[in-house]
Amino acid sequence: MSTPITQEHAALQTFRENLLAAPRRLLDATFRSGKPTTDRTRSTFVFGNVFLHLHAVRTHRWNLRWTTTMGLGIASTAAFLITLITGVLLMFYYKPYPDAAYDSIKDIHFVVPTGRFIRNIHRWAANVMVVAVLLHMARTFYTGAYRKPREFNWLIGMGLLVTTLGLSFTGYLLPWDQLAYWAITIGANIAQSPREVTDALNLTDNFDPGGFQRLLLLGSDVVGDEALIRFYLLHVMILPLALVMLMAVHFWRIRKDGGMVRPVDADQRLAPRSGETYPVFTEAPQKTYQLAAIVKGKTGVVGRGPENTVPSMPHLFYAELAVLMLTVLICVALSLVSDAPLKELANPAVPENPAKAPWYFLGLQEMVAFSAFMGGIGIPGIVLVGLGLIPFLDREEKGTGDWFGGPGGWPLVRRTIPFGFGIAILIEAYVIRFGWLREWFPSIPQLVITLINPGTLLTLAYALYSVWLVRRHNSTRAGALGLFTCFLCGFIVLTIIGTYFRGPNWVFYWSPADWPKH
């Protein structure tokens, strides 16, 4: 055996050099584009990173104005990330089995170090998320961002809204206390509410979609361990996965649809660029970097001179991080001030009175008090279908990218607000003061009330008003602006009444202090 000693030494030598170089190479492999000190390296950094490449490499200055988006989309995402992290932490202690569930929440609340704090953050972030998602949708609507070519993304956004509400609702049952139990009982009864119609038509024995929906939701006739495991699975697996996937599509579509919406004259309306933003490194006037054969539509940058864009890194990332931290700040601050509620162990024998759904469903519950089907399924269904149709009915282009853009504009919205609030309050006040058909004609068929109740009348009034707006301004957008504003007002009025002014047996009280003592 005669191995060439020199060669062996050389291999060892190389090994030693590689070993010494390993830390540096690890860094190089991780940050492949080198230090992000120039625009070029920053750009490579952004599109070389799986998380960052959701962003365009450069961002239009219009998008960075606070008033363009108010950061609501990022706030929603941030709130979701917070619930995700705190939720995973809570899963370490939570046991999804009826009595054990309640005890484990008690443990989290009273015993586990920082358990109460984490649970508070989870609960507040969930509420912040619902609010942020609703406001984000309002922003998208008012800036006309649903219009072509963003119709599909608007639909994805609606899916995200429903998933968000579903996540929040399924989480409501998990503590297995009285609050949870009876809120979910209400939710399950709403799912069963098509029975109101099938009962009236004498169909229930043969055709019972309501009963099926309730069974599908609860897995049993009552809210029991089957329901809990279902809600748990939905809450920690199915809905979060659905949400993440929808979010991925949502973000991806933003870029595919030509980035954030902005007015056609955005460049002219922007203040001249200051020193901190500088022109894109190639100011080629005729730049077309799209793959014309594959990507349809025009990109916003074609045929324009010096772009009003700035590198996403760091300009956009600072803005996003700022919103993220602001959301964290809000959630943490609220968590320090207010504890998540926990009532006594769920007791099917002792109904809560009033039993209230989560706050964002209290507007629906207010309408459910008149007709379970219309309030719980009919009107929300109409609203969802209407929202889904908006981008396909409003094919106008005027005002896209501007707040309250389009015919009528802000003056229309401003005049609609008092109308929307007024008529909702008026109808509610009338019903609270004088009652409704059931009080006047006790034997009236339920089908009549299902069709004619304060909820449907309110919807009808809003619809007629928006039809009138369409005719007056000769524009679908004007009608949509009016209708959306009206529904927003109605939602606020009904939610506030349901939250603060309804007591035992869903009777109106000015304050909980007036509730009858037992």
Partner 1 sequence: MNKNKHLLLWSSVGVFLLLVVAAWSENSNKEWRRIQKSASNAEGALDIHLRQVVNTNLNSADRCVSCHAGMAPGESELKGHAILAAHKPVVHQPADYGCTICHGGQGRATDKADAHGDVHFWPQPMLPMKYSNAGCGTCHTPLNVPNSDKLASAQQAFERLDCLACHRVGGRGGTLRPGGGGLEGPDLSNVGFKGYDIAWYDKHLAKATAVTEGPWKASFGAIDDVQRQALTTWLNTRVGSSKLVEAKAAFHSVGCMGCHKVSGVGGDAGPDLSRAGEKDPGLLDFKAVPGERNLSNWLKEHFRSPVATVPGSQMPAMGLSEAQIDLLTMYVLSLRRRDLPGSFLPKDRVQVLRFGAREFATDGATIFSAICAGCHGADGKGRRYPGTQAFPSIAGQDFLSLATDEFITETIQQGRPGRKMPGWANEAGLKPEEIQKVVAYLRQLGGNTATKPETTAPRWVKGDANVGQRLFAANCAGCHGAKGEGGEGPALNNKILLATATDTFLIETIKAGRRGTAMQGFESPSPTRAALAARELESIVSFIRTWETKK
Closest CA to 407 of 416, 395, 398: 398
Distance, C-alpha 340 to centroid of its chain? 21
Which of 110, 410, 430, 441 lies at the binding interface for partner 1 (CB under 8 A)?
110
Give just the sign of the alpha carbon dihedral 174, 180, 182, 188. Answer: negative
Identify the three-state secondary structure at position 177: strand
Q: What distance in Å separates the CA atoms of residue 313 and residue 429, rounded to the nearest whole number?
A: 54
> Which range, of 288-296, 338-346, 382-390, 392-400, touches partner 1 by CB under 8 A?
338-346
The residue among 234 and 313 lying less far from partner 1, judged by its C-beta, is 313
Among 131, 155, 345, 432, interactor with partner 1 by CB under 8 A: 345
Residue 311 backbone dihedrals phi, psi, to 5 degrees: -60, 135
Of 278 and 392, nearer to partner 1 (C-beta) is 278
Q: Find out whether 400 and 144 touch, Cβ atoms under 8 Å.
A: yes
- Pick from 95, 253, 256, 343: which binds partner 1 (CB under 8 A)? 343
* Whether 421 contacts 413, CB under 8 Å: no
| CB nearer to partner 1: pick between 110 and 207 | 110
The binder of partner 1 chosen from 70, 155, 200, 326 (CB under 8 A): 326
Q: What span, in angstroms and rounded, lies between the C-alpha atoms of 348 and 16?
A: 71
> Is residue 329 within the footprint of partner 1 (CB under 8 A)?
yes
Instruction: Note whether 342 binds partner 1 by CB under 8 A.
Output: yes
| Stretch binding partner 1 (CB under 8 A), from 111-119, 188-196, 254-262, 367-375 | 111-119
Strand 58-60 with 309-311, pairing: antiparallel
Cα-Cα-Cα-Cα torsion 196, 202, 204, 207, nearest 10 degrees, comes to -110
Cα 236 versus chain centre, distance: 17
Q: Which helix (H) or strand (E) holds 26?
A: helix 5-30
- The tokens describing 125, both together, are 């972030």
Q: Which of 177, 196, 352, 402 binds partner 1 (CB under 8 A)?
A: 177
Kindly tell me which residue out of 28, 347, 395, 397 binds partner 1, with binding defined by CB under 8 A.
347
Among 221, 265, 283, 344, binds partner 1 (CB under 8 A): 344
What's the Cα-to-Cα distance from 411 to each of 264, 415, 479, rounded to whole Å? 22, 6, 13
322 binds partner 1 (CB under 8 A): yes
* Min CB(311)–partner 1 separation in Å: 10
Name the 3-class secondary structure at 356: coil
Asked if 31 is part of the footprint of partner 1 (rule: CB under 8 A), the reply reads no
Q: Collapsing DSSP states into helix, strand and coil, what is residue 65? A: coil
CB of residue 350 to partner 1, shortest distance in Å: 7
Q: How far apart are CA 88 and CA 205, in angstroms?
A: 44
Joined tokens for residue 510: 């000015």
The 265-304 contact track toward partner 1, x by CB under 8 A, reads -----------xx---------------------------
Nearer to partner 1, 66 or 441 (CB): 66
DSSP, collapsed to helix, strand or coil, labels residue 288 as coil
497, 488, 164, 196: which is closest to 363 by C-alpha? Answer: 497
The answer to whether 328 contacts partner 1 (rule: CB under 8 A) is: yes
Q: Which stretch binds partner 1 (CB under 8 A): 201-209, 328-336, 414-422, 450-458?
A: 328-336
The site string for partner 1 over 114-133 (x = CB under 8 A, - otherwise) reads x--x----------------
Contact 260, 254 (CB under 8 A): yes
Stretch touching partner 1 by CB under 8 A, among 133-141, 151-159, 316-324, 484-492: 316-324
- Is 318 a binder of partner 1 (CB under 8 A)? yes
Asked if 200 is part of the footprint of partner 1 (rule: CB under 8 A), the reply reads no
User: Three-state DSSP class for 60?
Assistant: strand
Q: Segment contacting partner 1 (CB under 8 A): 87-95, 255-263, 288-296, 343-351? A: 343-351
String of contacts with partner 1 for each residue 49-68, x by CB under 8 A = ---------------x-x--
Going through 231-326 in order, the beta strands assigned E by DSSP cover 309-311
Which listed range, 106-114, 224-232, 359-367, 436-444, lies at the site for partner 1 (CB under 8 A)?
A: 106-114
Q: Which of 473, 485, 488, 450 is nearest to 371 (CA)?
A: 450
What are the distances in angstroms from CA 347 to CA 78, 95, 99, 214, 227?
Answer: 36, 18, 11, 20, 15
> At its nearest, how many Å lie between partner 1 and the CB of residue 146?
26
**Of positions 21, 245, 325, 429, contacts partner 1 by CB under 8 A:** 325
At residue 310, the 3 state secondary structure works out as strand
Read off the amino acid at residue 55. H
Nearest residue (CB) to partner 1, 28 versus 339: 339
Is residue 106 at the binding interface for partner 1, with CB under 8 A as the rule?
yes
**Tokens in use for 80?**
């979701």
- The piece of 35-43, 244-252, 314-322, 500-508 that touches partner 1 (CB under 8 A) is 314-322
Q: How many residues bind partner 1 (CB under 8 A)?
A: 33
Interacting residues toward partner 1 by CB under 8 A: 64, 66, 106, 110-111, 113-114, 117, 177, 276-277, 310, 314-315, 318-319, 321-323, 325-326, 328-329, 332-333, 336, 342-345, 347, 350, 518
